[in-house]
Chains A and B, each alone.
Chain A
Amino acid sequence: MFEHDFLALFPEIFLINATIILLIYGVVFSTSKKYDYPPLVRNVGWLGLLSVLITILLVAVGSPLAVANLVYNNLIIDNFTYFCQIFLLLSTASTMVMCLDYFKQESLNAFESIVLILLSTCSMLFMISAYDLIAMYLAIELQSLCFYVIAASKRDSEFSTEAGLKYFILGAFSSGILLFGCSMIYGFTGVTNFEELAKIFTGYEITLFGAQSSGIFMGILFIAVGFLFKITAVPFHMWAPDVYEGSPTIVTAFFSIAPKISILANMLRVFIYSFYDPTWQQLFFFCSIASMILGALAAMAQNKVKRLLAYSSIGHVGYLLIGFSCGTIEGIQSLLIGIFIYVLMTVNVFAIVLALRQNRFKYIADLGALAKTNPILAITLSITMFSYAGIPPLAGFCSKFYLFFAALGCGAYLLALIGVVTSVISCFYYIRFVKIMYFDTPKTWVLYKPMDREKSLLLAITVFFITFFFLYPSPLFLVTHQMALCLCL
């Protein structure tokens, strides 16, 4: 029995081993006098990228059609996890690509960040395939612990340490809430496995007044709040702008890309597969509306790029939650398409943000006259911003279109309406980038260093997908449809 489990878990096991070996390698060599204390960051970065790529291969080798419950029903592998894991690993790999040059530029000689990224990736893999409340909680905790450390990885920066500390305290709080919810569920039902919970909840009326059900309801509420905190949905978003702004840019990029995938995957597993009930849908409904509105409004007054992107990601979480609160197959499918496109765009934007460095690229106004100094980069950023704003025929438009369509399909007209209105409002600050790049002449011209080849490759790929997604979207449709079916059936 266990041999099959090990075979199925081989990618995760490989990644853990690789991470540990890398850690040992780094520790041994960076402290060795013989080699003159090499910083090793770039080296470890490449090796980490390599191990992630190998993990992708290992995951991909496994058949997508197999469904297996592993380790005493604690983990599951099916279509949904298969594609989600591949996608997560790909996005991690892209972050790794981005960070190759970063540490050297920042003279941040901490190869441990890369190790921690790898470790959190591993925990996220487990999160995606978690099939039990305990496994889920453990995976989330491992991921969060890694994140707290990475956020504070730039130890000499006040902002970074502040961000790390804030993240830690608030994160610990939310983990407590989450754990409390889990324990309540366990206390009132006696099971922690998702499948059995699903069995209990089918045909089960969750109301506050039923004798045994009020506890279950509160448990679900607490779990939901915990998740909403992790995914930075309004009104539990307060930490996000501070943490995103304070932590090093590469960490911000990582935070706004990878955990979104894993947490949404886990949320889908919990709330669609296990606790499917109209009651909590309302909760997500409100959170979705609030996130969209706040994302649109708050970003408008921001001058700092990273803070703006944080609000933009909050807004996008709001759009994604539209699909979530629909609860239909179309909703889930549109959510998955939406997150795919969101990740593409975010990777692109952060690659640009990381590429533009003279001393720093902190304020939006620093982009002035980028169209003259760096025309190709300006076009790339404009395309991405138009896509963020949802201008057809770019990918961002498609994602929003499917989400609103799903909302209309299940009768949530208010969601669609607010989605459209807020995306119009959000056009303002997205297109402001374009305006600044093309029409503003700054007082002091900022000349940026040329970017490295890896990042430009990344940019090229993402821009290609963003621009030409509308031509051939059917493979993504097929995949997401299968994933959605996996959860709903």
Chain B
Amino acid sequence: MELIFQNVWFVPLFPFLASILLGIGLFFFPNSIKKFRRLSSFISIMFLNIAMLLSFHFFWQQITGSPIHRYLWSWVLYKNFVLEIGYLLDPLTSIMLVLVTTVAVMVMIYSDSYMFYDEGYIKFFCYLSLFTASMLGLVLSPNLIQVYIFWELVGMCSYLLIGFWFTRPSAANACQKAFVTNRIGDFGLLLGILGFYWITGSFDFQQLSKRFFELLSYNQINLVFATLCALFLFLGPVAKSAQFPLHIWLPDAMEGPTPISALIHAATMVAAGIFLVARMFPLFQMLPFVMSIISWTGAITALLGATIALAQKDLKKGLAYSTMSQLGYMMLALGIGSYKAGLFHLITHAYSKALLFLGSGSVIHSMEPIVGYHPNKSQNMIFMGGLRQYMPITAITFLFGTLSLCGIPPFACFWSKDEILVNSWLHFPILGSIAFFTAGLTAFYMFRIYFLTFEGDFRGHFFDDVKKLSSISIWGSLEFNKEQFKLDKKSTLYPKEANNIMLFPLIILTIPTVFIGFIGILFDENKMNVDSLSYWLTLSINSFNYSNSEKFLEFLFNAIPSVSIAFFGILIAFYLYGPNFSFLKKEKKKLQLKSEIDIVLKSFSNFIYNWSYYRAYIDGFYSSFFIKGLRFLIKIVSFIDRWIIDGIINGIGIFSFFGGESLKYIEGGRISSYLFFIIFCMFLFFLYSYII
């Protein structure tokens, strides 16, 4: 038993080994390993499976009440500076382990088929394993230094994977953007870590918060400095979890292969920021100002993501903004102190979003042969529509994911999101109303995506007439004259359902999407059960005493508004994008008669469309303000460097060159002048000493 606990590090080790194996193979035997494509993917899936089974085991151990396990090994010992590495196994860790490994396994199986025709198939698996390993390492870290190391590793892997198709300029730009944006956060994180080390003298999570609490209670802390450090520390999660000021990288990161979007940008990596905030929660809790900053950041992100997602044309980008919005929910939950709800939402959202992304990948895969391989085409929802007829399984699983994300009971996200909504409402009504409004928006844009993609008629054959199509507003009136485009039915292709390997993860992921929400609520109901999620997650932080004492009925009562706004959103989406039923058409015509309302609506919709298209103008603002400002500053600095600093150097160089040349001619070779010089210098010395 103990032995197995001491070997928790096997969990990240296995995928790491896989990546090392593949990496060595790629590096040294690039030609021969290409013959073993399936074998190498099999190896990485196999190793990850072992890791998954192990983490299930640890999870079960934690549920059945094993103690928190901590193992430290001193790495650097220098005077009174001790740096330890090791691992920390507590409920949070074990649940994260399960989450990461299951999603990663699914994604790996999926990408076996998705990436099959790609040149970098093995490289992809190598990166994927490395990413999973570093994510698992991050989850297991007991102190901030180790977190920082894995944090950087995760960032690097994400850079590699976003830029996996680096020959495409947009992908190359996207990975750079992601990297640079994350660097800002990482720098803040590093400053925060060092600042807290300065305050408390420890990197360890538990010691850190304990010492901080002691110091705070004895009033020995400069509170402003501590808050500043906490904010710096929070900057790391802000960048990694795509929160408001630093969210700009996430939509661009969709340039990576779709499995990567599923794994990194939905389920795991972006969760790292949430995870870190959860880990540091006891500490943040002592600083109310920081908590309110966190909650407001979350709320703004949630709203911003939802509004931008409203009018995205690109399937994956729409999902990406939805991810951002959901991450905002989690941050909001953590910020208002409902720790459990935030993490619960993290878990439920991870499965749902992974499912959605994999579904979208399947859609893209089937669209590609028809409309072309450019992401502007294959991911463009304008060309989709009616795919449910051609790929029913994908459509149904996608629908499940959508329903879950909208917060429709009994799907997973309902339980967690409802909790967040209720708690935020209780905490502060403005936050609550923002969250509430966002929930409606979520339902709207998710169903917009669903309807545009899977319902209606297939529009993929008009991809040649991009000009004609672009005139069609994405808002509402998608119906157009079919007779206008005369199609040769025989020659057209239709999308096909993905193959079984790709469908398998979709179906598997449907299970948690539907059912995982119950663990939260069921365990809530019978509080006697020791292993209720809320009890169980609060165990890891002793100072935290939030308890959910609601009754189930009360819960349901609370859920009514949130569910109703979700349905309201769905209705609007249905009205605007749904399949055209005759009575709706009539309604529409009636509506169109009321021209004043129509104008208002149109201007509003244009505004929303532009808002979404220009990504809430934030990217533009950044590029005009930061990037141009920085460029200007760089020009000044480079001017100084070129003309002043280089000028000094060149001046010295020229001076010394001329000095050398002139010295060459001073040495005339006349002995008498030499003698004179010697005497003269001696005289000078003499004079000098005389003066002194």
What residues of chain A have their CB less than 8 Å away from a CB belonging to chain B? 166, 169-170, 173-174, 177, 208, 217-218, 221-222, 225, 229, 235-236, 238-239, 241-242, 279, 282-283, 286, 294, 296-302, 425, 428
Q: Is the CB of A173 within 8 A of B678?
A: yes
Q: Is the CB of B686 within 8 A of A221?
A: yes
| B504 interface residue (CB < 8 Å to A) | no
Q: Is the CB of B656 within 8 A of A300?
A: yes
Question: Chain B 662-679 against A: per-residue CB contact (8 Å), 1 yes, 0 no?
Answer: 011001010100110110
Q: Is the CB of B656 within 8 A of A425?
A: yes
Q: Is the CB of B667 within 8 A of A225?
A: no
Contacting A241 at CB < 8 Å: which of B667, B675, B682, B685? B667
24 A-B pairs (CB sep. < 8 Å): A166-B674, A173-B678, A174-B678, A208-B690, A225-B678, A225-B681, A236-B681, A238-B667, A238-B674, A241-B667, A242-B667, A242-B669, A283-B689, A286-B688, A297-B659, A297-B660, A298-B660, A298-B663, A298-B664, A299-B660, A300-B656, A301-B660, A425-B652, A428-B653
| B692 interface residue (CB < 8 Å to A) | yes
B669, B682, B692 — which one has the most chain A CB atoms within 10 A of its CB? Answer: B682
Q: Is the CB of B689 within 8 A of A297?
A: no
| B661 interface residue (CB < 8 Å to A) | yes
- Bound complex: CA of A235 vs CA of B671, how far in Å? 14
Additional pairs, 16, CB under 8 Å, beyond known A286-B685, A428-B653: A169-B675, A170-B674, A170-B678, A225-B682, A229-B678, A235-B681, A236-B681, A282-B688, A282-B689, A294-B663, A296-B656, A298-B659, A299-B660, A300-B660, A301-B664, A425-B656
A173, A238, A425 — which one has the most chain B CB atoms within 10 A of its CB? Answer: A238
Q: Is the CB of A235 within 8 A of B677?
A: yes
Q: How far is the CB of B671 from chain A (nearest CB, A)?
A: 6
- Bound complex: CA of A236 vs CA of B683, how far in Å? 12
Q: Which of B313-336 contact A (CB under 8 A)?
A: none
Q: How far is the CB of B660 from chain A (nearest CB, A)?
A: 3
Interface size class of B (residues with CB under 8 A): 20 to 34
- Bound complex: CA of A236 vs CA of B682, how far in Å? 9
- Bound complex: CA of A241 vs CA of B688, how far in Å? 27
Complex interface: chain A residues within 8 A of B663 (CB): 294, 297-298, 301
Q: Is the CB of B685 within 8 A of A221?
A: yes
Known: A221-B686, A294-B663, A301-B664. A169 touches B671 (CB 8 A): yes
- Bound complex: CA of A301 vs CA of B661, how far in Å? 5
Q: How far is the CB of B41 from chain A (nearest CB, A)?
A: 46
Question: Chain B 645-662 against A: per-residue CB contact (8 Å), 1 yes, 0 no?
Answer: 000000011001101110
Complex interface: chain A residues within 8 A of B656 (CB): 296-297, 300, 425, 428
Top 7 nearest A-B pairs by Cβ distance?
A301-B660, A300-B660, A235-B681, A298-B663, A297-B659, A238-B674, A301-B661
Complex interface: chain A residues within 8 A of B678 (CB): 170, 173-174, 225, 229, 235-236, 238
Complex interface: chain A residues within 8 A of B685 (CB): 221, 225, 283, 286
Known: A208-B690, A221-B682, A283-B685. A238 touches B677 (CB 8 A): yes
- Bound complex: CA of A151 vs CA of B657, how far in Å? 31
Q: How far is the CB of B366 from chain A (nearest CB, A)?
A: 58
Q: Is the CB of B682 within 8 A of A301?
A: no
Complex interface: chain B residues within 8 A of A229 (CB): 678
- Bound complex: CA of A298 vs CA of B681, how far in Å? 19
Complex interface: chain B residues within 8 A of A169 (CB): 671, 675
Q: How far is the CB of B645 from chain A (nearest CB, A)?
A: 14
What residues of chain B have their CB less than 8 Å away from a CB belonging to chain A? 652-653, 656-657, 659-661, 663-664, 667, 669, 671, 674-675, 677-678, 681-682, 685-686, 688-690, 692
Complex interface: chain A residues within 8 A of B671 (CB): 166, 169-170
Q: How far is the CB of A217 from chain B (nearest CB, A)?
A: 7
A297, A302, A425 — which one has the most chain B CB atoms within 10 A of its CB? Answer: A297
- Bound complex: CA of A87 vs CA of B685, how far in Å? 33
Q: How far is the CB of A276 from chain B (nearest CB, A)?
A: 16
Complex interface: chain B residues within 8 A of A238 (CB): 667, 674, 677-678
- Bound complex: CA of A181 vs CA of B379, how far in Å? 95
Complex interface: chain B residues within 8 A of A283 (CB): 685, 689
- Bound complex: CA of A279 vs CA of B692, how far in Å? 9
Complex interface: chain B residues within 8 A of A208 (CB): 689-690
- Bound complex: CA of A235 vs CA of B680, how far in Å? 10
Complex interface: chain A residues within 8 A of B677 (CB): 235, 238
- Bound complex: CA of A299 vs CA of B657, how far in Å? 10
Q: Is the CB of A239 within 8 A of B657?
A: no
Contacting B657 at CB < 8 Å: which of A217, A294, A300? A300
- Bound complex: CA of A296 vs CA of B692, how far in Å? 29
- Bound complex: CA of A301 vs CA of B653, how far in Å? 12
Complex interface: chain A residues within 8 A of B653 (CB): 428
- Bound complex: CA of A168 vs CA of B686, how far in Å? 25
Complex interface: chain B residues within 8 A of A242 (CB): 667, 669
Complex interface: chain A residues within 8 A of B657 (CB): 300-301
Q: How far is the CB of A207 from chain B (nearest CB, A)?
A: 9
Q: A246 — nearest CB in chain B belongs to which residue?
A: B669
Q: Is the CB of A282 within 8 A of B692?
A: yes
Complex interface: chain B residues within 8 A of A296 (CB): 656
- Bound complex: CA of A170 vs CA of B659, how far in Å? 25
Q: How far is the CB of A282 from chain B (nearest CB, A)?
A: 7
Complex interface: chain B residues within 8 A of A218 (CB): 686
Known: A297-B659, A298-B664, A301-B661. A170 touches B675 (CB 8 A): yes
Complex interface: chain B residues within 8 A of A225 (CB): 678, 681-682, 685
Contacting B675 at CB < 8 Å: which of A173, A299, A301, A302? A173
- Bound complex: CA of A335 vs CA of B669, how far in Å? 31
Complex interface: chain A residues within 8 A of B686 (CB): 218, 221
- Bound complex: CA of A279 vs CA of B686, how far in Å? 11
Q: How far is the CB of A148 from chain B (nearest CB, A)?
A: 14
Q: How far is the CB of B663 from chain A (nearest CB, A)?
A: 4
Q: Is the CB of A239 within 8 A of B674?
A: yes
Q: B673 — nearest CB in chain A belongs to which residue?
A: A238
- Bound complex: CA of A235 vs CA of B685, how far in Å? 11
Q: How far is the CB of B678 from chain A (nearest CB, A)?
A: 6
Q: How far is the CB of B686 from chain A (nearest CB, A)?
A: 6
Q: How far is the CB of A449 from chain B (nearest CB, A)?
A: 31
Complex interface: chain B residues within 8 A of A177 (CB): 682
Complex interface: chain A residues within 8 A of B652 (CB): 425
Q: A239 — nearest CB in chain B belongs to which residue?
A: B674
Complex interface: chain B residues within 8 A of A221 (CB): 682, 685-686, 689
